[in-house]
Structure 1
């Protein structure tokens, strides 16, 4: 290949203006989703419980409806992307979100609030990572890994800035005004996506040549069902589910655990804030790292760092140990969370990889059991310490097989298995028939 060819190839790897517009839209949407939902629901509930005389248990159950809807609805965006495109999928999500937020603003009963949370969870699925990663993988070629990393970073920034922003809105406009404002923003983002988002219309032949040159499987070779039957997909889903279980469980108990070990509530909140801040910026670095180092290695290192963070949190013997635990776990969270989607794209192509990400999010619904198990453990043994050892053990068990993963070998339906590429081993998927 000549110098001119190399230069032309590098230029082609840069997305055109519609690609940058799509990236901006999905990043803004993901920032908003994280700002307006899971991380800030507790801020609004504090005011709603006081005014509507709901019990804490009844109000807290809204998280269950939100989380289950988000996880169980996750396969649907892959279907709408295939039939109607990612722009329509994002717009559907915006409409459902706006309707859910509007119902929150105008409802007074727990039943209506639970319905609204279910709608918001569904809207999260349609507007979140499945269409976001699909668009980024389509428009960004050589630099899709780092673009995905920045995309997840923007979402994490929404989670970080969300609580103070929502607290200010609730103080100024009241909780009904807050939900109304969220409905308006969701609608506006839907309009922006309608105007600016476009799917990339690249021909299959060019994509096939590009995948072959990069050593990745042809995007047209795998069907979602075939991809989800491979050992590689199962391991990625397990790593992401374990990561989310750690995140949710730590979110529910770590401040109480640190206070039990001598920290003040303020210092414990500071430690948890450091954890989130580290994860936010590591997510951006992880995308870049996946272009320089095997993503399998990045994911495995992330799992090991989460293991170290959990073990250090179990001791929590001093502020220095608590800080190291937060840094280790935050970095591990960021590495694994980004490397998972990157691996799916690398293994199964830029079309199927993002679509089967919905299957990963469906699997992560199991992680919602983490806080419940932690509560049962604390009630039984009087401490959260055993749960940290358990989570650390799960991360350690997953790290080695994830690190050893290689490109899956595709076996065409009705034919013999394709020859494995040099240096790669993987699961050969036989014809089910």
Structure 2
């Protein structure tokens, strides 16, 4: 009986209810996936450590061919260490958070599962300059940082790569295969991501000893506190006035904090845009629910009075209305569940950014149901009073 009565009421106002159900479904589809993307973006930023807050990274291009690039770089390093406030200098390529950089295919010797990883070339000063923590093993030694053409067969890796390859971080001394060549892991670094940290391979990092330096030199300059406002000028003047080195030019110079912020600039913009979209869809959904409820109740004022006169209590009337509207909300929820799952699956397969956000969907649906409940409750109270007044007038 209840179902047939509810179905009759719904069929009488099917267009308005269809629009309400459709808007609820669209809101759930968009909001659920938008919130999930926002959380995924935030998660990526959270797992990207803010390292080297007192460090500046610069690219130096040597303009002379066939020069002693190692000698020039060491001369520049000594000159930079004379700058007031500079604690240490490291030759590390590419610059952290600078984007791009080489990549390598890494696997264990017993498993063919390959992990595409970001690559750094660094000297033994890197750990101190960026204040990184080694959780297993040791840093490179000075003897492993050579000027020979052939790099020693040792590497350091980050903890994410270690746990993915071996299931644990304590893997110092283990061997891995990198692009067909065997290397021994000397140490595992707790948190260190690739220069392209926003990409999937940026989560996995391999660090080779920095051997023979080339025409392009990436240099990290660590200050004993936040770099002063004139830090760029100090570094430029020091390098350009260094008479012991051959001609070269600084092509870029930035703090690592600025590089990290720039790396996630688009992600932050995406978060703000999606937050606005989420708010807009909830606003549209609320306006639709409010409009349908008001339109519905405007036609039923007298019927409420008649139902009261026939002996129906306010509770019975309230239950019948809630049953009617919650049926519409439930239909919109089912449609929204299916459509959000389809969109989430597409995003996961195409962009690998969203797993199906069940809890997010339930929270969004609960919020919409709450909006329906509050709107109905407010309107029912006013309408029941008007219905009695209309009967008295009649």
Q: State the TM-score bracket (shorter-chain normalisation).
A: under 0.3
Q: Which has the higher contact order (CA 8 A, sep 6+)?
A: 2
- TM-score, normalising length from structure 2? 0.28
More strand by share: 2
- TM-score, normalising length from structure 1? 0.25
